[in-house]
Structure 1
Amino acid sequence: MQATADLDLDASRAHLAAPPRLVDEAAAAAPPLALTAAEGLEHLQVPVSFEIDSARIALGELASLGEGAVIELDVPLPEATVRLVCHGQTLGLGQLVAIGDQLGVRIVRMGLGIASASAGTGVMADAAGPSQGRSS
């Protein structure tokens, strides 16, 4: 089950337009809703994380990691899907690309309600700052 709520936005506050309601999984599997910015909010900046994958690591192994350590993920590079996440909500999916000697993400799909391509919280790099991923 999923809880949803309608919001009315004004210049400085968000108000519930109606009580929150539960939605069943079948309804949640409906096609994603288009992303649109409310009038006047299109310049508002929000934190977007780019999640690649996650791995379960024994605490002892985690404690022994140091500079130069490499952790192999269970996803082959060509199949790696990047999730675009804002405040815990997956907004889009993409693929890693090289832009010169920088990383980029080619958008494959955008919209609210996109299910994650793979489970887990993922290794993430915040769009507003330096990489927060694991040592490599």
Structure 2
Amino acid sequence: MPQSTDLISSIQDQYVDIIEVYANYFVKLSAKSHSPKNITVAVFKANIENLEKFRIKELKKLNDKDIEKKFNPTSINYISRSLDVPRETIRRNILTLVDNSELIRSDEGLFVSEKWIKKNIDKIISEVIDLIDKSNYLTKKIDRKS
């Protein structure tokens, strides 16, 4: 399904809770897996959880210092529990992700990096739009059968 520029702009002007919902379901579907994408999305979900009045389009403007100030930190234990993967496995993977500058590790906790956001946010927005399109399609299909 083609994605209109208007829809993409509209999504980017929304608050991050749309992405939080997407990330929450992604993490639930990713249980028992410790791929780098699953770990970084789980960190991202925790970072943006319950952020009030923060727009999606603002994400790309953040640098690593801003991310540490504005996002919620998370821990290895939280990610381990979220993905239902042993803590030590998550810890080893996080070391690699920090070395690759995908994650930031500070005294407060773990954060996705500016590099990760710039590389992934457009893809996440596209996946959110696809989910909206599929939901609309299913809703119309169900309405026709009613």
Fold shared, TM-score > 0.5 on shorter chain: no
More helix, by proportion? 2
* TM-score of the pair, normalised by structure 1: 0.26
Larger radius of gyration: 1
